[in-house]
Amino acid sequence: PPVMFLVTNSTQVPFFFILMGIPGFEVFHTWISIPFCCLYIVSIMGNTTILAVIRTEPSLHEPMYLFLSMLALTDLGLTLTTLPTVMGLLWFGASEISFEACFAQFFFLHGFSFMESSVLLAMSFDRYVAICCPLHYVSILTNRVVSRIGVAIICRCVLAVLPPLFLLKRLPFCGSHHLSHSYCLHQDMIHLVCADTTGNNWYGFVLALVIITLDPLLIVFSYALILRSVLRISSQVERLQAFNNCLSHILAVLVLFVPMVGLSMTHRFAKHAPPIVHVIMANIYLLAPPVMNPIIYSIKTKQIRRGIFHLFRHRQLQ
């Protein structure tokens, strides 16, 4: 018999949620695990390499690369948050996850996702100062200011994720306990609640407005100011160099926000689409930034490429 959630007037005693792999392709989970495993390896190796390069190269202890290290840490956290349930499900068929473990994954998953957006916003401010106020760059973005921005990002994300977590956790779950992904997403878990979710829906709307809408708008605004400043440069070579300095960050922004908007639109306007559509969109949203960001910055940033070369050369000499 299916395990249900025991609900009383004062307490609820949930047992576990059931995670879903790739719907309709359950017999191929072992084969599907191969590309997933490769993507996780690329993400972990790429982001740890970025962190090791920035840590070992004194010339990279600058605001731009300190923000990049924050981005790599965030991507690493996002990868390690989903890896246990995704690979456990694909390799061993471990589809059960306890109530508390699911909410813990919920917290870290959405926390690191919001943190990624916040770090990219901070990086756009770094690019704005570097291009529009180059003479004041060192005095504005000191190590102390960068560390304060980092602390503010953590506080912002924790304060953003905790309210929906507590709002959701106090509600009764009854009937089906089958999730539609191989990890715990808020927009997925909210459908299993058998109570009024108006408060959760309004908070989710405000959060989406602040994070998904405000952050990209501020990034676009910063690049509008950068573009205005760059177009005033008379030398075409210097103009192209300024654009090239921003290219890696622009690509990282697109890699995050395009899948994020796509996933939000799918959940809101394509509720009756085949389950495989929702699963593919969610996996792209969670795996694309951690996999692509190290590749983008390794290819497009000469200092990072040089640092990687020095790092591996030093390891070979040892």
pLDDT at 75 over 90: yes
Helix (H) or strand (E) holding 96: strand 96-98
pLDDT at residue 293, as a whole number: 96
Helical H segments across the chain, by residue range: 29-56, 63-92, 99-132, 137-140, 143-169, 186-189, 198-207, 215-231, 236-269, 275-300, 302-317
Percent of the chain with pLDDT over 90: 56
- Neighbouring C-beta atoms of residue 269, cutoff 10 Å: 9
pLDDT at residue 273, as a whole number: 82
pLDDT at 26 over 80: yes
pLDDT at residue 120, as a whole number: 96
Domains and CATH numbers, the chain: 16-317 (1.20.1070.10)
pLDDT at 152 over 90: yes
pLDDT at 256 over 90: yes
Mean pLDDT over 256-269 rounds to 82
DSSP structural state of residue 234: S
pLDDT at residue 316, as a whole number: 66
- Neighbouring C-beta atoms of residue 191, cutoff 10 Å: 12
pLDDT at 10 over 70: no
pLDDT at 173 over 90: no
pLDDT at residue 4, as a whole number: 43
Mean pLDDT over 283-295 rounds to 94
pLDDT band at 5 (very low <50, low <70, confident <90, very high): very low
Mean pLDDT of the chain: 88
| Residue that wins the pLDDT comparison between 207 and 250 | 250
Q: Check if the beta carbon of residue 20 is closer than 8 Å to that of residue 268.
A: no
Mean pLDDT over 182-199 rounds to 86
